[in-house]
Amino acid sequence: MSSDPKQLRIPFPTPRLASTALKALQVDPELSPLVQRHLSVVSSSSPSSDDHAEVLQVEYQATTNRMLRVAVNSFMEGLKLVLEVMEQLDVDVLAADKANSIKSS
């Protein structure tokens, strides 16, 4: 394995949404023993971000760039699905959309 882990940081508006995404994504292990993935939720370190924002942090180690690319592509497909479900069904997201539509009216 490469000793240099590659990292993705995906911001979420609330800690609950970040935690939900973590739980949904961590159930699927990497299919290849040549790839290792570690997921965690960390506080946002950006001073301009909302105080309640959280970041889903994903660290990858892979033996080849090709294996890394395949693993990240697969992860991004899963993340896209999780975000689409949150957008359609999550009460916080629905409430925020409603509040934004009222403000723009």
Matching CATH number, 6-104, of 3.40.190.10, 3.30.310.50, 1.10.150.450, 3.40.50.2300: 3.30.310.50
| pLDDT attached to residue 63 | 94
Domain boundaries, the chain: 6-104
pLDDT digits (tens, 9 = 90+) for 2-40: 456 799 999 998 899 999 999 999 999 998 999 999 999
> Which pTM was predicted?
0.75
| pLDDT attached to residue 43 | 87
| pLDDT attached to residue 102 | 67
Nearest to 78 by CA among 42, 14, 41, 27: 27
